[in-house]
Structure 1
Amino acid sequence: MINLTLPEIRRLITALIMRHAPPPAHVWSWSHWRRRRQHQARLSHYRRRGHPLTQLPLQY
């Protein structure tokens, strides 16, 4: 038997993790929260550097 390869280790870890995946509603709400926070960070970044803040659209 050969040793485990990196792709095989990745596949095994993914299979183990996905067995107990969170509900889809949780995944979508977390994604929405993350994108909203990234947008807020972008605004803060520009504000701190003195750039004029025109209404930056949320980029989804």
Structure 2
Amino acid sequence: MIDFTLPEIRRLLIKLVLRAVDTADHIWSWSHFRRRRQHQARLSHYKRRGYPLT
């Protein structure tokens, strides 16, 4: 999984502080899903272009 990005940290802080609708579990689940999906996209990008996967 990739590291947290600045926009994601900003979004998490806003959502956690102003959580009017979402629960903390939902917010963290979304973050985990997003980072996992970005990692998958990165691997796919490199694989498609023939770079070695590390």
Q: Which has the larger radius of gyration?
A: 1
Do the aligned partners of residues 48 and 19 (structure 1) sit closer, same or farther apart at CA in structure 2, a change above 3 Å counting? closer
- Runs of 4+ in structure 1 deviating by more than 6 angstroms, as ranges, are none
**Once the 2 structures are TM-superposed, how far is the Cα of residue 19 of structure 1 from its aligned partner?**
6.3
Return the TM-score normalized by structure 1.
0.56
RMSD of equivalent CA atoms: 1.8
Structure number with the bigger relative contact order (C-alpha 8 A, sep ≥ 6) is 2
- Deviation, structure 1 residue 29: 0.5
Identity %: 68
Q: Distance in 2 between matches of 1:19 and 1:38?
A: 24
Shift of 1:21: 3.0
Q: How many correspondences in the alignment?
A: 38
Structure 1, unmatched stretches of 5+, are 1-13, 55-60
